[in-house]
Amino acid sequence: MTLGAFSISLAVKDLAASKIFYEKLGFHIFGGDATQNWLILKNGDHTIGLFQGMFEKNMLTFNPGWDQDCNTLESFLDVRELQKNFKAEGLTIEGEADERSTGPAYFMLSDPDGNPILFDQHV
């Protein structure tokens, strides 16, 4: 089962300070909007999202339908199908995607240690 592009989404206290720090590690701005308190940074295939005031915890993020450069894949497992598969495995879904909808949608779940995992489909 392919989950899509992977990144870590960091809940940061100071977006500008975090941006400067990760740029010193070789990351560059790939997307986002600092005026809305979020940026996406890349270093090769590694992606970090910086989010100020949007999330309580850091989280793992998967983007079904995208490769690591946010290009739309021709074929992918829709976020609603992933959700159905995880439910069938007995996992608890938080913020379910409407299974009657199409296109962009998301849902979340948490690992056994309470780490949030976001499945966020943009296509």
List per-block mean pLDDT (blocks of 10 residues) for the chain, which spans 123 residues.
95 98 98 98 97 96 95 96 98 96 97 96 96
Predicted pLDDT of residue 26: 98
Prediction pTM value: 0.91
Residue 31: which of 83, 70, 76 has the closest Cα?
A: 70
Strand, coil or helix: what is 6? strand
Structural element, H or E, at residue 49 = strand 46-52
Q: Is the CB of residue 5 less than 8 Å from the CB of residue 18? A: no
pLDDT at 31: 95
Give dist(CA 122, CA 8) in Å, integer.
Answer: 16
CATH of the domain at 24: 3.10.180.10
pLDDT for the residue 106:
97
d(CA 101, CA 110): 23
Give the range of the structural domain holding residue 10, as residue numbers without chain letter. Answer: 5-121
Q: How many domains does the chain have?
A: 1
Q: Which two tokens stand for residue 112?
A: 């056994």
